[in-house]
């Protein structure tokens, strides 16, 4: 199946809060002027090549995840026997999952568990003797501290990209709030689903046009206000138990809430200058931020400190200037929790 | 002949084309961490109502450097948001429309954190630098965002770095590794590593004129106010003691400013008015956005009104 990409032809959002930057009528001004050779720029080999010990760590415990032969995202190896973590929304619906770690190739990878809150999936490949990520004690690094992540890759060699911690660690609330992804009509004490948005948690849970929502998390709901009250304060990625009536039948559904802005993918001006950013880029309990260039395909891999230890896992290319990573404190808890849930 | 080395506090790694050891890399980190707290403390968000940009304070009394496409005009009221979220009243001073440079002055009294300007030899190709700015708008929990970069292209009125900028960064500061201001963020290219800044040279050569609130140069970064293009929105006739308003345009600046039919205008910006021609000639010297101070008589009482001209 083809991986979903951001459609750059979606509506331009008129957000009211414009942000200012002028576009590039300056190329002509710059042409023919002094220019630094690519090799010496931040992404160039003369800079990244100086981080060889850190690159070797990336080589050992980062994973490259493919759909058939297409590289789709990176991952972090968390056990010797083939468990690894990646960004869940980037592998959703992919049928030809296969994985490369160091020089080894694994033809089959299985999705074991998904944590929608962090957008992390636990994958399993048939392996022995892998080198698991070496966790750092803390992700609490001063702004301006070097960090190292996956760059381009070849069959045998992982390359890297480098940058610095670029902002305060913090929560990223869901953009536009958390929603079910349905259009509703309140009709005489009944809550009727008029439409189900494509790609929403409601659609995935099997909600249909014409269903009546009767109960949310054990509480009866009869109008939109009552429903909103039950959903209030809930975050994108959380599953909500919802009972719907379809004809004479009552169905119990687990609906995962979506972030409104991501569901409807409205692009503002900043999005349009941000290239291929992550579709799921909000609704994270806590993140650390760095300034390394990337796109939706370069997420999921480890973020290393200068000692080559894991301080986090890349989880969202938010925009042109910001990349988010799950801090190692939370990543360890998540990894251990997921491994503990694996059916024996 | 042999050139003497420059004396000063230049960042040592800038003399090498690339880092040669991991200690060289750590020297970048060390310099950045040392310079960043003051650089971030002086980097403000400028809220214009219709959008936000960034700016940097360069004097303890709150003089700010920013981009002309952020301030857009001379004498405009704006809000400056400090890193702790405190909002301050400020006014735009002069600007260079040809090179995207502008000044803003904080009007609330106070002593503000500020950065030093690099007035020395211009920054050079390959220098290590860092950008700070309120990317995408103000976010107190996040703080200003830093990006480490090198200078990758140099031209007369533009320098380019490979640290990515985004909307909201405009007008924010580019620093050398000692935390001295070397540029102001201006614009971006379609590729991520293409990010343009206005060099300090542009600000320094026009500093006095900009402090004196002059609008310098023609486009493309700001449009000069056009005299006579202002919209007031009243019909008048000359009466005894002034100019009576016979009609106020719907949603016009006059209506928004509180003027009513029957008001008798006595003076406008200190000019006594008796005829429509006199009003016309005063307005001919003013531009959209300019302030009107009116003395009028309403129901036998003198009243004062202040409003801004709209655009025709």
Last residue of a domain, one of A206, A225, A256: A256
Q: Is residue B57 part of a domain?
A: yes
pLDDT of the residue at A258: 86
To the nearest whole Å, the CA of A101 is away from the closest chain B CA by 26
pLDDT of the residue at A174: 83
Residues B88 and B158 in one domain: yes
CA distance B294 to B266: 7
Average model confidence (pLDDT) for chain A?
88
Q: Which among B130, B168, B187 has the least Cβ separation from residue A22?
A: B187
pTM: 0.82
DSSP labels, A241-268: EEEEEETTEEEEEEEE-EEHHHHHT-B-
CATH of residue B172? 2.40.10.120
CA distance B236 to B246: 5
Last residue of a domain, one of A195, A228, A256: A256
CATH of residue B279? 2.30.42.10
Which residues of A fall within a CB distance of 8 Å from B141? 168, 170-171
Which residues of B fall within a CB distance of 8 Å from A289? 142, 145
CATH of residue A252? 2.30.42.10
Please give the residue range of the domain that contains residue A224.
Answer: 181-256
Q: Which among A17, A168, A320 has the least Cβ separation from residue B143?
A: A168
pLDDT of the residue at A298: 95
DSSP labels, A88-140: HHHHTT-SSEEEEETTEEES-EEEEEEETTTTEEEEEES-SS-----B-S---
Q: Is residue A78 part of a domain?
A: yes
pLDDT of the residue at A234: 83
Residues B277 and B180 in one domain: no
Residues A167 and A217 in one domain: no
pLDDT of the residue at A231: 86
Q: Is residue A280 part of a domain?
A: yes
Q: Which among B20, B125, B158 has the least Cβ separation from residue A30?
A: B158
Q: Is residue B238 part of a domain?
A: yes
Residues A100 and A232 in one domain: no
Residues B251 and B116 in one domain: no
Residues A194 and A71 in one domain: no
Report which of A336, A343, A326, A304 is spatially closest to residue A52, judged by C-alpha positions.
A304
What is residue A13's DSSP assignment? P
Q: Show pLDDT as tens, one digit a residue, over chain B (312 residues).
A: 455 544 456 899 999 999 999 999 999 999 999 999 999 999 999 998 888 999 999 999 999 999 999 999 999 999 999 999 999 999 999 999 999 999 999 999 999 999 999 987 778 999 999 999 999 999 999 999 999 999 999 988 899 999 999 999 999 999 999 999 999 999 988 788 889 999 999 999 999 999 999 999 988 888 888 888 889 999 999 888 899 999 999 989 999 899 999 999 999 999 898 899 999 989 998 888 788 999 999 998 999 998 888 887
Question: What token pair was written down for B264?
Answer: 């008798």
Other C-beta atoms within 10 Å of A288: how many? 26
Residues A98 and A247 in one domain: no
Yes or no, beta carbons of B188 and A171 under 8 Å apart: no
Which residues of A fall within a CB distance of 8 Å from B157? 29
Residues A62 and A154 in one domain: yes
pLDDT of the residue at B228: 86
Q: Is residue A1 part of a domain?
A: no
Residues A47 and A112 in one domain: yes
> Is residue B179 within 8 angstroms of chain A, CB to CB?
no
Longest dimension (CA), chain B: 86
Residues A167 and A189 in one domain: no
> Is residue A27 within 8 angstroms of chain B, CB to CB?
yes
Sorting pLDDT into bands at 50, 70 and 90, what band is A21? low
The structural domain count of chain A equals 2
Last residue of a domain, one of A223, A256, A289: A256
Q: Is residue B152 part of a domain?
A: yes
Residues B15 and B50 in one domain: yes
Yes or no, beta carbons of A289 and B142 under 8 Å apart: yes
| B84-108 exposure pattern, b = at least 16 Cβ within 10 A, e = fewer | eeeebebbbbbbbbbbbbbbbbbee
Please state which of the ranges A221-225, A241-245, B200-204 shows the lowest mean pLDDT: A221-225
Yes or no, beta carbons of A36 and B50 under 8 Å apart: no
Q: Which among A22, A30, A144 has the least Cβ separation from residue B160?
A: A30
Q: Is residue A105 part of a domain?
A: yes
Which residues of A fall within a CB distance of 8 Å from B160? 30
The C-alpha torsion from A57 through A60 and A62 to A68, rounded to 10°, is 150
Yes or no, beta carbons of A167 and B22 under 8 Å apart: no
Between these two residues, A260 and B64, which has the higher pLDDT value?
A: B64
Q: Is residue A327 part of a domain?
A: yes
The upper half-sphere exposure of residue A128, i.e. CA atoms within 13 Å in the direction of its Cβ, equals 0
Residues B121 and B213 in one domain: yes
Q: Are strands A258-259 and A178-179 parallel, antiparallel or unpaired?
A: antiparallel
> Is residue A36 within 8 angstroms of chain B, CB to CB?
yes
Which residues of B fall within a CB distance of 8 Å from A141? none
Last residue of a domain, one of B161, B192, B221: B221
CATH of residue A113? 2.40.10.120
Report which of B222, B196, B220 is spatially closest to residue B210, judged by C-alpha positions.
B222
Residues A50 and A187 in one domain: no
Sorting pLDDT into bands at 50, 70 and 90, what band is A9? very low
- What φ, ψ does residue A315 adopt, rounded to 5°? -125, -20
Residues A68 and A155 in one domain: yes
Residues A161 and A211 in one domain: no
In what helix (H) or strand (E) does residue A316 lie, and over which residues does it extend? strand A310-319
Q: Is residue B217 part of a domain?
A: yes
Q: Which among B155, B168, B186 has the least Cβ separation from residue A19?
A: B168
**Terminal alpha carbon distance of chain A:** 30
Distance, C-alpha A5 to centroid of its chain: 13
Within the 297-316 window of chain A, which residues sit less than 8 Å (CB to CB) from chain B?
A: 306
Residues B285 and B143 in one domain: no
**Interior angle at CA A281, CA A278 and CA A287, nearest 5:** 125
- Residues A278, A88 contacting (CB under 8 angstroms): no
Yes or no, beta carbons of A19 and B33 under 8 Å apart: no
- What φ, ψ does residue B10 adopt, rounded to 5°? -55, 145
Last residue of a domain, one of B189, B221, B253: B221
Residues A282 and A220 in one domain: no
> Is residue B49 within 8 angstroms of chain A, CB to CB?
no
CA distance B75 to A213: 56
Q: Is residue A216 part of a domain?
A: yes
Q: Is residue A104 part of a domain?
A: yes
B220 prior amide bond cis, ω within 30:
yes
Residues A304 and A332 in one domain: yes
The structural domain count of chain B equals 2
Between these two residues, A259 and A170, which has the higher pLDDT value?
A: A170
Residues B213 and B246 in one domain: no
pLDDT of the residue at B160: 94
Residues B200 and B269 in one domain: no
Residues B122 and B216 in one domain: yes
Residues B262 and B307 in one domain: yes
Please state which of the ranges A40-54, A79-93, A163-177, B100-114 shows the lowest mean pLDDT: A163-177
User: ipTM surpassing 0.90, yes or no?
Assistant: no
Please give the residue range of the domain that contains residue B216.
Answer: 11-221
Sorting pLDDT into bands at 50, 70 and 90, what band is A245? very high
Average pLDDT score over residue span A144-173: 95
To the nearest whole Å, the CA of A198 is away from the closest chain B CA by 28
Last residue of a domain, one of B221, B256, B280: B221
Which 3-state string (H, E, C) describes A329-340? Answer: HHHHHHHHHHHH
Q: Is residue A102 part of a domain?
A: yes
> Is residue A18 within 8 angstroms of chain B, CB to CB?
yes
Which residues of B fall within a CB distance of 8 Å from A145? 29, 33
Q: Which among A21, A34, A145 has the least Cβ separation from residue B187?
A: A21
pLDDT of the residue at A33: 57
CA distance A270 to B186: 15
pLDDT of the residue at A87: 98
Between these two residues, A129 and A14, which has the higher pLDDT value?
A: A129
Q: Is residue B130 part of a domain?
A: yes
Residues B176 and B296 in one domain: no
Yes or no, beta carbons of B153 and A35 under 8 Å apart: yes
Q: Is residue B3 part of a domain?
A: no
A189's CB contacts (< 8 A; 6+ apart) are A222, A223
To the nearest whole Å, the CA of B171 is away from the closest chain A CA by 9
Q: Are strands B43-47 and A302-304 parallel, antiparallel or unpaired?
A: unpaired
Burial degree of A276 (CB within 10 A; 0-12, 13-18, 19+):
middle
Please state which of the ranges A117-121, A267-271, B167-171 shows the lowest mean pLDDT: A267-271
Residues B234 and B217 in one domain: no
CA distance B115 to B59: 7
Q: Which among B18, B40, B186 has the least Cβ separation from residue A40?
A: B18
Q: Is residue B6 part of a domain?
A: no
Q: Is residue B107 part of a domain?
A: yes
Other C-beta atoms within 10 Å of A140: how many? 14
Which residues of A fall within a CB distance of 8 Å from B51? 17-20
Within the 254-273 window of chain A, which residues sit less than 8 Å (CB to CB) from chain B?
A: 269-270, 273
């Amino acid at each position: 199946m083809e991986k979903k990409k951001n459609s750059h032809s979606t509506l331009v959002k008129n957000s009211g809060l414009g942000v200012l930057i002028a576009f590039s009528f300056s190329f002509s001004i710059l042409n023919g002027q002094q220019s630094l050779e690519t090799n010496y720029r931040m992404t160039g080999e003369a800079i990244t090549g100086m981080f060889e010990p850190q690159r070797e760590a990336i080589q050992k415990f980062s994973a490259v995840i493919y759909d058939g032969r297409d590289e789709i995202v990176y991952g972090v190896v968390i056990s010797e026997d083939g468990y690894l973590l990646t960004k869940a929304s980037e592998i959703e619906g992919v049928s030809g999952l296969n994985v490369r770690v160091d020089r080894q190739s694994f033809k089959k990878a299985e999705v074991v568990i998904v944590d929608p809150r962090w957008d992390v999936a636990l994958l399993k490949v048939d392996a022995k003797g892998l080198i698991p990520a070496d966790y750092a004690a803390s992700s609490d690094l001063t702004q301006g501290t070097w960090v190292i992540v996956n760059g381009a890759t070849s069959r045998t060699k992982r390359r890297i990209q480098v940058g610095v911690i670029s902002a305060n660690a913090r929560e990223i609330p869901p953009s536009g709030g958390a929603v079910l992804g349905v259009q509703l009509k309140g009709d005489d004490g009944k809550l009727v689903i008029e439409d189900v948005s494509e790609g929403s948690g409601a659609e995935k849970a099997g909600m249909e046009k014409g269903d009546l929502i009767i109960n949310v998390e054990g509480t009866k709901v009869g109008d939109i206000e009552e429903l909103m009250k039950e959903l209030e304060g809930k975050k994108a990625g959380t599953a909500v138990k919802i009972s719907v009536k379809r004809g004479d039948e009552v169905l119990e559904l687990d609906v995962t809430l979506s972030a409104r802005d991501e569901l409807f993918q409205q692009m503002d001006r900043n999005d349009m200058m941000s290239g291929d950013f992550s579709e799921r880029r909000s609704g994270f309990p806590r993140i650390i931020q760095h300034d390394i260039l990337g796109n939706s395909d370069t997420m999921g891999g480890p973020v290393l400190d200068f000692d080559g230890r894991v301080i986090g896992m890349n989880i969202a290319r938010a925009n042109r200037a910001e990349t988010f990573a799950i801090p190692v404190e939370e990543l360890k808890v998540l990894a251990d929790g997921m491994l503990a849930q694996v059916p024996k | 002949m042999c050139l003497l080395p420059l004396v000063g506090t230049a960042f040592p790694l800038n003399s090498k084309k690339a880092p040669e050891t991991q200690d060289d890399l750590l020297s970048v980190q060390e310099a950045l961490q040392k310079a960043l707290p003051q650089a971030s403390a002086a980097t403000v968000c400028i809220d214009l109502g219709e959008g936000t940009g960034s700016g940097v304070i360069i004097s303890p009394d709150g003089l700010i450097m920013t981009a002309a496409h952020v301030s857009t005009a001379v004498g405009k009221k704006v809000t400056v948001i400090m890193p702790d979220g405190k909002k301050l009243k400020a006014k735009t001073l002069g600007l260079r429309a040809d090179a995207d440079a502008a000044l803003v002055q904080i009007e609330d009294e106070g002593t503000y954190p500020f950065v030093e300007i690099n007035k020395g030899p211009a920054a050079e190709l390959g220098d290590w630098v860092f950008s700070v700015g309120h990317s995408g708008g103000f976010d107190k929990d996040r703080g200003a965002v830093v990006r480490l970069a090198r200078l990758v292209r140099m031209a007369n009125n533009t320098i380019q770095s490979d640290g990515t900028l985004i909307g909201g960064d405009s007008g924010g500061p580019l620093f050398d590794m000692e935390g001295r201001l070397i540029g102001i963020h201006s614009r971006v290219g379609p590729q991520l590593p293409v990010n343009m800044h206005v060099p300090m040279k542009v600000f320094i050569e026009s500093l006095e004129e900009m402090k004196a609130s002059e609008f310098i140069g023609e486009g493309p970064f700001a449009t000069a106010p056009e005299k006579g293009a202002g919209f007031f929105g009243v019909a008048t006739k000359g009466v005894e003691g002034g100019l009576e308003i016979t009609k106020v345009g719907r949603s016009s600046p006059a209506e928004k400013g509180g003027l009513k039919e029957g008001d008798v205008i006595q003076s406008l910006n200190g000019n006594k008015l008796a005829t429509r021609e006199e009003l016309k000639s005063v307005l001919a010297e003013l531009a959209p956005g300019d302030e009107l101070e009116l003395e009028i008589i309403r129901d036998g009482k003198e009243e004062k009104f202040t409003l801004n001209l709209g655009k025709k």
